[in-house]
Structure 1
């Protein structure tokens, strides 16, 4: 774990607010554990491990019925930790993957079977290296066949430059991390 990375609170207080029945935690991550699901060698940060078991325990403790588990940039395009969590959660979770542009339709179908319903395009410069927009457009064409949507992660100052690209996507777009 990076020295300046804040670990999750291991004993949070229970919120006074009770989530309504069926409430969904719409954005969460699994990190590692690194000995089973190594972090990408070119990652920009190293988090503390936060396993699927810890995530599901927190989900239940907070009173959520389901999760949307988003592939974290520290794992790159290796979605094995995400898929493992989805396969464990069954109908209680869906996923957002980060994929390599060379991914095959068969690989995407396997992800779909596990519960993935979107891909994440990350433009946050402190977290990922720059990727040509054409790469994302080719991925967008592939996932359209599965009726997935696209989750776009960027910082506010970059929005104006991204608008022409976003208009090319021709599918549902979700703005990541509360826009």
Structure 2
């Protein structure tokens, strides 16, 4: 068995930025605990336990009100750990599942009852063995009303993803903006290509997330405080303010080097959304429309 990975900061700082009332961390995960919710035999990494109690304590520490818990790839298509966390949240969490393409309509309905509001399709070859696009489209055609699809891919396959994305019959959320090379700046090839994708459909949303991944010093970026990320992403949020989401990505799956301080990640928010109006859209209005539409 591989060594287990601790990928989160042991004592995150309290951010200088105070999120607005009702702010949502719209991209985070839970790991296990393994004794109750074993990891998938196909998992590409084996994390230490990071259960709902830890997540909700961090939520309160950082000044947020709600979470959107995204099923981590280490749990495969068994969403029990995510559902457990949602159930323990007291209504303050919703979720995004990863499902087997053969899932039944009854199973999808049960996920909805458990607080799931979308499914995630992962196209990162280092995390999944295969991505059956035709089967993904069939699942997308059967999703409960008001659900959406979350897709995770890297910038170098954006062009080959366009036909698949265009065929999705529900709104689309792109994880981490499709991982552009933020070193190219706001007008670089990757960001221009991503803008063209956003312009192709009015119901494509994006997560302005993961400065620690996209601007990592080990990959030639700036590292904390992630100046490349701020410069590249702020214009995107400004130009598409009604389709931007934000999240911590805690507990930062499979990160072993340059583990970020979550307080510093929160302090990125005013750098990419500098006005109170933009901050409210990014953290409250937009995630509430997607995940708690009955309260909007």
State the TM bucket, normalised to the shorter chain.
Answer: over 0.9
Superposed, which structure 2 residues align to 1:51-130 within 5 Å?
A: 51-130=51-130
- Per the normalisation by structure 2, the TM-score is 0.58
Q: State how far apart, in whole Å, the 1-side matches of 2:24 and 2:88 are.
A: 17
Superposed, which structure 2 residues align to 1:24-63 within 5 Å?
A: 24-63=24-63
Taking a change above 3 Å as real, the CA distance of residues 77 and 4 of structure 1, as seen in their structure-2 partners, is closer
Aligned length, in residue pairs:
178
Largest Rg, 1 or 2: 2
Taking a change above 3 Å as real, the CA distance of residues 173 and 64 of structure 1, as seen in their structure-2 partners, is same
Q: State how far apart, in whole Å, the 2-side matches of 1:33 and 1:108 are.
A: 24
Q: State how far apart, in whole Å, the 2-side matches of 1:5 and 1:165 are.
A: 34
Q: State how far apart, in whole Å, the 2-side matches of 1:4 and 1:90 are.
A: 30
Q: State how far apart, in whole Å, the 1-side matches of 2:45 and 2:145 are.
A: 31
Residue 162 (structure 2) aligns with: 163
Pairwise CA RMSD: 1.5
Residue 14 (structure 1) aligns with: 14
Q: Secondary structure at the match of 2:88?
A: helix
Contact kept in structure 1, 2:87 and 2:114, CA below 8 Å:
yes
User: Which ranges of 4 or more aligned residues in structure 1 deviate by more than 6 Å?
Assistant: none
- Per the normalisation by structure 1, the TM-score is 0.94
Q: Which runs of 5+ in 1 are unaligned?
A: none
Q: State how far apart, in whole Å, the 2-side matches of 1:24 and 1:8 are.
A: 19
Q: State how far apart, in whole Å, the 2-side matches of 1:136 and 1:122 are.
A: 10
Higher strand share: 1
Tell me the CA shift for residue 101 of structure 1: 1.2
Q: Secondary structure at the match of 1:56?
A: helix
